[in-house]
Structure 1
Amino acid sequence: MSEERSLPKDYYECIEELQAIDFVLVELTLYLDTHPDDLEALKQYNTCAKKRQELKEKIEQRYGPLQEFGNSYSSYPWKWATTPWPWQI
């Protein structure tokens, strides 16, 4: 069993921000499914999608990959086993 890791406060702040952006993206996706011609909502979606990508890259540069199976790059050496697992945060 892996040992508990102490993570910096910044890590939790970044993860919370990522979760908030993900929530907004899900809600906007559902809205746009029924209102595909709402240009303002689409602009907001694209802005949030870009912000999410930037935040994801920031987190991964500092703490390692967030997703597996080709959804995140890994630096050398392989970082997947050294990043916090979901139940550790």
Structure 2
Amino acid sequence: MSNKQMPKEFYTMMEELQSIDFVLVDLTLYLDTHPNDYKAIQQFNEFSQARRQLKNQFEERFGPLQQYGNSYSNYPWNWNESPWPWQI
């Protein structure tokens, strides 16, 4: 586990990403059983867009969040930099 101290914004943004992810999972489960709920679909799309924007801001500042082509890497390869999301 890393002992590297990150700036407060790192933890704030990570918490916001986790909150948005929770909402998206919850809306996904709801929409699986209510596929015609237009308002819920709108909410899902709004949170999805907000997550994408926040993820991009986070990765520009702190590095990639997801592997397998879901996040870009800076040069040099920066996947070995910590802390990793599951280490905080």
What range describes the TM-score normalised by the shorter chain of this pair?
over 0.9
Q: Secondary structure at the match of 1:82?
A: coil
AA aligned to 2:65 is L
Structure 1 stretches of 5 or more lacking a match? none
CA RMSD of aligned residues (A): 1.1
TM superposition score normalised by structure 2:
0.93
CA distance in 1: counterparts of 2:49 and 2:60, whole angstroms: 17
Structure 2 stretches of 5 or more lacking a match? none
- Report if the CA contact (8 A) 2:24-2:44 is conserved: yes
1:63 aligns with 62
Q: How much has 1:75 moved relative to structure 2?
A: 1.3
Q: How much has 1:34 moved relative to structure 2?
A: 0.6
AA aligned to 1:46 is N
AA aligned to 2:37 is D
AA aligned to 2:67 is E
TM superposition score normalised by structure 1:
0.92
- Map 1:1-89 to 2 at 5 A: 3-85=2-84, 86-87=86-87, 89=88
